[in-house]
């Protein structure tokens, strides 16, 4: 019984296995068919995908090539512009470098000239240490300034007074004589500049003020002489601007007030140039006034000549009037004489004229009638 059951089970299992094998084979066949169909579909899809991919890749490659060509063209253009800019900048830099070298050469030459000038100035400083040398140098600068700004007749160098004193120069302003004396208080000014302490500077400033006051007193006493035709003031010409600045604006500015009280006006080359321009304008105005007087005198002479011409013209008119009246009277007499001639001609018999023509001693009747 058990064996039969086992056999039945085994037979059932065998039948199941057979059915399973057959089903498996059927499924395998279907699967093969499906796989074949899938393979053919996949191949066609892959072929289409490959074709589309190839086409897209070709289009992308063409687009990329175009873009790369545009980028290359843009880069070439930009690089060309950049090369041009770089070339221009290099050229400008080279030109600037050349100019810098040239200017450095000029600076070197200027530095050499400055060194030479400094040496010359040191020599000049040594030469100007004696007061007389400084005075002569100041007079020379003053004369050059006057010569450049005024006509020669408007100034005079080394003008002498009745006392025997001589001022460096004078400027003629009409009937007035403006005295100008050159002063060069350099020693104590150098001490002011070179002082290394306030005490030393104050001592030098007081000494400098004494020097300037001494010069101011001398100019006021010697050259301000209204009784000899000078103005009531004088100029003290200081040929160095720095020294004048110390007089006018330094701590010793009380010296300037003292000079003005003494009617002495310190001037430097720049400030004196302004004064000379004013004087030159004044001289020009005086010349114009003198020319105006000359013109007025000439016009007066012309007026007198014109009056004489009018008198002569009136006299000629009178003579012409008399001649006209004489001419009119003579014309009337001539008309009367012509009428008498015609009347005499009408009264004379031609036969009597033929008989009397042989007698040449008798005057004509016409003349007698006249």
Angle between helices 269-347 and 131-149 (to 10 degrees): 30
Burial of 271 per CB tally in 10 Å (0-12, 13-18, 19+): middle
Q: What is the pLDDT of residue 369?
A: 41
Q: What is the pLDDT of residue 365?
A: 44
Contacts of 99 (CB under 8 A, 6+ apart): none
- Outline where DSSP puts E strands in 79-227: 155-160, 166-173, 176-182
Cα(44)–Cα(38) distance, rounded to whole angstroms?
10
Q: Which of 150-164, 224-238, 315-329, 345-359 has the lowest mean pLDDT?
A: 345-359
Pick 297 or 172 by higher pLDDT: 172
* Backbone φ, ψ for residue 241 (5° rounding): -60, -40
Q: What is the pLDDT of residue 355?
A: 55
- Please write the tens of the pLDDT for every residue from 236-256: 998 888 888 888 877 656 888
Assess contact for 169 and 157: CB atoms under 8 A: yes
Going from N- to C-terminal start, the domains of the chain cover: 130-267, 285-370
Highest mean pLDDT among 201-210, 282-291, 302-311: 201-210
pTM, full prediction: 0.46
Cα(346)–Cα(365) distance, rounded to whole angstroms?
12
Cα(270)–Cα(281) distance, rounded to whole angstroms?
17
- Please write the tens of the pLDDT for every residue from 173-192: 777 888 999 887 777 888 88
- Identify the band that residue 292 occupies on the pLDDT scale cut at 50, 70 and 90: low
Given CATH 3.40.1350, say whether it is the number of domain 130-267: yes
Q: What is the pLDDT of residue 366?
A: 43
């Amino acid at each position: 019984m058990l064996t039969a059951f086992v056999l039945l089970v085994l037979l059932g299992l065998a039948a199941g296995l057979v059915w399973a094998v057959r089903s498996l084979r059927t499924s395998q066949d279907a699967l093969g068919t499906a796989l074949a169909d899938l393979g053919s579909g996949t191949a066609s899809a892959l072929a289409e995908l490959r074709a589309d991919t190839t086409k897209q890749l070709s289009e992308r490659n063409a687009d990329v090539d175009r873009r790369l060509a545009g980028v290359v063209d843009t880069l070439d253009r930009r690089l060309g512009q950049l090369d041009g800019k770089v070339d221009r900048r290099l050229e400008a830099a080279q030109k600037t470098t050349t100019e810098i070298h040239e200017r450095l050469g000029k600076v070197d030459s200027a530095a050499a000239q400055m060194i030479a000038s400094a040496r010359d100035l040191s020599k000049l400083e040594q030469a100007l240490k004696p007061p007389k040398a400084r005075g002569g140098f100041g007079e020379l600068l003053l004369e050059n300034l006057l010569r450049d700004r005024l006509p020669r007749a408007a100034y005079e160098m080394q003008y002498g007074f009745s006392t025997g004193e001589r001022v460096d120069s004078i400027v003629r302003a009409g009937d007035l004589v403006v005295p100008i004396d050159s002063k060069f208080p350099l020693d104590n000014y150098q001490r002011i500049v070179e002082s290394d302490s306030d005490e030393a500077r104050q001592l030098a400033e007081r000494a400098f003020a004494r020097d300037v006051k001494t010069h101011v007193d001398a100019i006021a006493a010697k050259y301000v002489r209204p009784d000899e035709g000078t103005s009531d003031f004088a100029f003290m010409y200081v040929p160095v601007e720095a020294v004048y600045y110390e007089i006018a604006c330094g701590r010793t500015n009380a010296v300037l007030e003292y000079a003005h009280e003494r009617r002495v006006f310190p001037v430097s080359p720049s400030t004196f140039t302004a004064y000379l321009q004013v004087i030159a304008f004044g001289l020009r105005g005086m010349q114009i006034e003198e020319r105006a007087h000359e013109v007025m005198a000439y016009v007066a002479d012309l007026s007198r000549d014109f009056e004489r011409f009018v008198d002569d013209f009136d006299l000629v008119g009178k003579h012409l009037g008399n001649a006209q009246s004489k001419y009119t009277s003579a014309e009337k007499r001539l008309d009367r004489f012509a009428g008498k001639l015609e009347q005499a001609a009408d009264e004379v018999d031609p036969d009597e004229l033929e008989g009397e023509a042989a007698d040449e001693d008798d005057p004509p009747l016409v003349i007698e009638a006249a």
